[in-house]
Structure 1
């Protein structure tokens, strides 16, 4: 399986909410047709101080070989790498839209996005099947009685792409936790979709979302549930759906995008590793 690696250049920056920037990039290389699937992740590589663009090993047919070459770069040169979901690839072009939640100077991605200007460059690894959702959303949604999409602001780009991919006539429930009312944003919710916004207003991230799922009067039947956001909240919600509501494990797609009080550079916890193993098992089984 080939691993596409390229540089991307900022062509536009739009604040879609006070704390969310939608940045449009043009990729130097992008194969036709890739990047249009829902919930498609990429790895973005951010330059170190003093660099105009990140240093990247060349792509190829050996993803693990590429990652070893990346790790072999001297630390002062090695770019910071973070995962993001494509919000949109503009048809017939090499233009990509990616949403960034701005947390101030809390990390390399948010710090870079808060200062991004046209002409700035990043590296991009993907889109690739390696970073695609392990399940076919359209087929899983069509086989379910209804769909649950639950996440925080980091999950909104994926939720939007999943709503756009919903099979016609599918009933869906969206529970979205954001910092406050100003962070609500338009979602492409088709008829039959109920959207509920949850405003943290200073509460601990993920708590309102987990409580809302636990207390919700959900439709009858077996759903397909997609849950993403802060890792411990995602774990709590998944356990509630499986153990508390009897949803089959195979009907819950989950992803902990970030960890409260920890960064992606911190070591994974035992629960993080357990989640990763289960996701890998589901991918290989599919």
Structure 2
């Protein structure tokens, strides 16, 4: 099988080695594979494309030749055969042995799951769990996946890029962005001033974040952080940098707040819509969002 695609990304054939429930709404899946020696990333909010088996199948079906034409080949596979593709964030990369962690927000799965989202980064109205949530909730050692990820550590799928002169980092993320936000927080060096608001559905989803940064983290349980953000007295800063990610409608509203009401230079605001209320990831891709 040919695995290379246009640099700096390529396909990796991986299998599950273990899973760990982080809370009622979040599960961490650890993957390994010989290909991971070629996987390189600086982390933070590194975006990945994960290919899992179609419902009722045990192997993810992708084109035999995963070259530059993989997308068309993948789309041409029958609907009931084609592997399900979803976008996720790298939570952690480790060496010796080579492993990657991906945290899955579980929606509509189990007694503690959120009923208000579709599958991770693929939002929707209240509905049964999407294919990725179902897969992650029952993932077991040996399960096979394909991952489209970086072969070059500094790549365009990393969005968190504060300018060197940043004197305050502001972060907001809903539950789909918590893995990226916590990875960002853990990557920040000592002396970095940070104010973060992270939303989770249940108190059991709140995590301990090991960061060297001077970080104040507000966990908002079962609600939204907009009122807290709008009413917050922020530390004095001349060159703040803002990273906001989650449901696209809320991301746009918060961007308007920071730029229009807080006066942050729009060039210093990174905003990423991980999902959109009422749309699946397939619909988002078709709409070019």
Q: In the aligned structure 2, how far is the partner of 1:35 from the partner of 1:13?
A: 22
Q: Give the one of 85, 90, 101 matched to 1:86.
A: 90
Equivalent residue for 1:194?
216
Equivalent residue for 1:246?
263
Equivalent residue for 2:139?
116
Q: In the aligned structure 2, how far is the partner of 1:127 from the partner of 1:190?
A: 26
Say which SS state the counterpart of residue 118 (structure 1) adopts: coil
Q: Give the one of 45, 49, 52 matched to 1:46.
A: 52
Equivalent residue for 1:279?
none
Say which SS state the counterpart of residue 30 (structure 1) adopts: helix
Task: List structure 1 runs of 4+ shifted beyond 4 angstroms.
Answer: 128-131
Q: Give the one of 172, 178, 190 matched to 1:150.
A: 172
TM-score when scaled to structure 1? 0.83
Q: Which has the higher contact order (CA 8 A, sep 6+)?
A: 2
The correspondence of residues 198-213 of structure 1 with structure 2, limited to 5 A, is 198-200=220-222, 203=223, 208-213=224-229
The correspondence of residues 124-163 of structure 1 with structure 2, limited to 5 A, is 124-127=147-150, 132-134=157-159, 137=161, 140=162, 142-163=164-185
The correspondence of residues 1-286 of structure 1 with structure 2, limited to 5 A, is 1-2=6-7, 3-32=9-38, 34-57=40-63, 58-60=65-67, 62=68, 65-103=69-107, 104=109, 105-127=128-150, 132-134=157-159, 137=161, 140=162, 142-200=164-222, 203=223, 208-221=224-237, 222-267=239-284, 276=289
TM-score when scaled to structure 2? 0.83
Q: In the aligned structure 1, how far is the partner of 2:164 from the partner of 2:252?
A: 25
Are 1:27 and 1:96, in contact at CA under 8 Å, matched by a contact in 2?
A: no
Gap runs ≥5 in structure 1: 277-286
Are 1:209 and 1:233, in contact at CA under 8 Å, matched by a contact in 2?
A: no
Q: How many residues align?
A: 260
CA 1:32–1:80: 2 relative to 1, 3 Å: closer
CA RMSD after TM alignment: 2.1
Higher-helix-fraction structure: 1
Are 2:25 and 2:105, in contact at CA under 8 Å, matched by a contact in 1?
A: yes
